[in-house]
Amino acid sequence: MGGVLLTSHHVSPSLPFHLLPESPQILMSEYWVSNKKYYCTYCKIYIADDAPSRQQHEGGLRHQGNKERFVRGLYKTSEKRKHDLEEEKREMMRIDQVSKPFYPRV
């Protein structure tokens, strides 16, 4: 049986796979397939989603610095939130003390 081997050069990219003729032999390895990508939230980049690429990236100075900066930012945000809550509490107590003579409690 002499089938025709279709490669990406023979198949129109606009023709859906399920509409291709069944008689030619189609090898799936002939089609381009996108490799999975991993998004690093610290560095805001995509890298190949395989163990060696991720290990190399996560071991790099750029990634480690970005990760440290991210953690430091979380700590700063938390500390600022605590400080703001304490300041808000002090301000509410001050307002309460100032307004006591004008608004007697029942």
Q: What is the pLDDT of residue 94?
A: 94
pLDDT in tens, the chain (106 residues): 444 444 544 555 555 656 655 555 555 556 677 889 999 999 999 999 999 999 999 999 999 999 999 999 999 999 999 999 999 999 999 998 888 888 876 6
Give Cβ neighbours of residue 46 (< 8 Å, ≥ 6 apart): 37, 38, 39, 40
Q: Where are the alpha helices (DSSP H) in the chain?
A: 51-58, 61-99
Q: What is the pLDDT of residue 14?
A: 59
